Amino acid sequence: MELKTLCELHGLSGNEGAVRRAIMETAGPLCDEVKIDRGGNVVCLKKGHQPDAPSIVVAAHMDEVGFIIVGYTDDGLLRFRPIGGIDPRVVISKWVHVGDERVPGVIGAMAIHLQTAEDRKRVLDFDNLFIDIGAKDSKEAEKLCSLGSYAAFDTPYEDFGEGFVCAKALDDRVGCYSLLRLLEESYPGDLIACFVTQEEVGLRGSKTAAFGQQAEIALVLEGTAANDLGDVPERARVTELGKGVAVSFMDGASIADRDLFRQMLSLAQEADIPHQVKQGVTGGNDAGSFQRSREGMRTIVLSVPCRYIHSGASVAKSSDIDAQFHLAKEFLNQF
């Protein structure tokens, strides 16, 4: 499956059905077992060819950030709240699709011409933003978009520049894409592929997925923040596009297994795979669930750097996405 296809599917936290169906269709023929657990996670088993080799979990999350409809104004605008961590400054004037019918809408705010000097000094929060779907009043808006409807960014996938891609949901469709590519190969040990739900709202899907697995090691494939534009000092860039896959030693949810961290860096160097160490203890991901469930698993995270992450238009570099796949493949083949 192409990354473009994955990114253009809508799959907000708790509503990952379209992504789940596409992954099941692609992964099914490649695996020995495929199931959906009670948390909505897709769990795939690809048996290894060496009976004594360890089983390894590789995980990526299917969900993306977005919005949910919570009310209406008298003049037909939709009130909404974010799903996942979204900066309200990056959503104004963005197109969205609302509900299963993909009703087109645009996120609006008061025009700058009408703002006072004090208005321009403050950041508008979600209480002061609305989705305009062209409805004449609240009744028409409610008919088109019921309470609890999801609203996803309407952003086409684009290749641009020298090897860059722009899309919504690169976090974490890049990980899902790499994991699907991994399922096309064979490995010494069993590969347990977990495509998990609701990462963006508290690692919820991975908690149930992790509880159901008995493996020693979990490798998490993610997208992560890059801060590599302008005059940002090198130490503050966190990750940089074009420098390869990012290996994390720690984030807000987990601390990497030290042996696996060193091992991953050594593998990347030996195989000449572009890589970098993530320079910041930021965010959190599903490694936190796999590290703590039952008896725990030794965890390590490989992330693709993404500019403008958690917005309607993130940017990544194809070479970094390829590096994530190749390093994960080397890691699985070494056991």
Q: How far apart are CA 62 and CA 105, in angstroms?
A: 24
Please, where in the chain does CATH 2.40.30.40 lie? Answer: 66-153
What are the pLDDT digits (tens) for 153-169? 999 999 999 999 999 99
Say if residues 58 and 332 touch (Cβ distance below 8 Å): yes
Please, where in the chain does CATH 3.40.630.10 lie? Answer: 3-64+168-333
Which two structure tokens, joined as six digits, stand for 156? Answer: 């086409």
Task: Name, in order, each residue with C-beta under 8 angstroms of 252's C-beta and a sequence gap of 6 or more.
Answer: 281, 282, 283, 284
Q: How far apart are CA 71 and CA 3, in angstroms?
A: 34
Q: Please count the other Cβ atoms lying within 10 Å of the Cβ belonging to residue 153.
A: 24
Per-residue pLDDT at 13 exceeds 80: yes
Q: For residue 302, give the nearest of 168, 172, 157, 164 by alpha carbon.
A: 172
CB-side exposure of 143: number of CA atoms within 13 Å?
7
Say if residues 46 and 53 touch (Cβ distance below 8 Å): no
* Mean pLDDT (whole number) for 299-308: 97
Task: Name, in order, each residue with C-beta under 8 angstroms of 139's C-beta and a sequence gap of 6 or more.
Answer: none
DSSP letter (8 states) at residue 273: -
By 3-state DSSP, what share of the chain in percent is helix, strand and coil, each rounded to 5?
A: 30, 30, 40
- The correct answer on CATH 3.90.1170.10 for the domain covering 66-153 is no
Per-residue pLDDT at 330 exceeds 80: yes
Question: Model's pTM, two decimal places?
Answer: 0.95
* Mean pLDDT (whole number) for 107-135: 85
Per-residue pLDDT at 119 exceeds 80: no
Q: What is the DSSP string of 190-252?
A: PEEEEEES-GGGTSHHHHHHHHT---SEEEEEEEEE---STT--GGG-BS-TTS-EEEPSB-S
Q: How far apart are CA 10 and CA 64, in angstroms?
A: 8
Amino acid at 333: N
* Dihedral angle sign, alpha carbons of residues 286, 289, 292, 298: negative
Which two structure tokens, joined as six digits, stand for 19? Answer: 């992504």
Say if residues 68 and 60 touch (Cβ distance below 8 Å): no
Look at residue 166 in the predicted model and tell me its pLDDT: 98
CA 217, chain centre distance (Å):
21
List the end-to-end C-alpha distance of the chain, in Å, as a whole number: 27
- The correct answer on CATH 3.40.630.10 for the domain covering 3-64+168-333 is yes
Q: How far apart are CA 308 and CA 328, in angstroms?
A: 25
Per-residue pLDDT at 120 exceeds 80: no
Residues serving a catalytic function are 199
Say if residues 310 and 86 touch (Cβ distance below 8 Å): yes
Per-residue pLDDT at 284 exceeds 80: yes
Q: For residue 59, give the nearest of 167, 170, 180, 168 by alpha carbon.
A: 180
Mean pLDDT of the chain: 94
